[in-house]
Amino acid sequence: MAFTAKDVQALRQATGAGMMDAKKALEANDGDAEAAKQWLREKGLAASAKR
């Protein structure tokens, strides 16, 4: 499944991850945002908590 720049931006805002990390997460999970969020958590790239 293809994803757009808006998908990358939404994932970045939801996780606090960098642009390339968010893009890699979406690529690794075929554009599935929820799976990408989990992937980022496992890799330790998502922000653990926003203050």
Provide, rounded to the nearest whole percent, the portion of the chain with pLDDT above 70.
88
- Residue 2 pLDDT > 90, yes or no? no
Whole-structure pTM value:
0.82
Q: List the domains of the chain with CATH numbers.
A: 5-43 (1.10.8.10)
Contact of 22 with 50, CB cutoff 8 Å: no
Q: Could you tell me which of 44, 49, 51, 46 has the C-alpha nearest to residue 15?
A: 46
What's the whole-number mean pLDDT along residues 10-39? 95
Q: Could you tell me which of 24, 37, 32 has the C-alpha nearest to residue 1?
A: 32
Indicate the angle between helix axes 33-43 and 19-28, nearest 10 degrees. Answer: 120
Per-residue pLDDT at 49: 52
Maximum distance among all Cα pairs of the chain, rounded to whole angstroms? 33
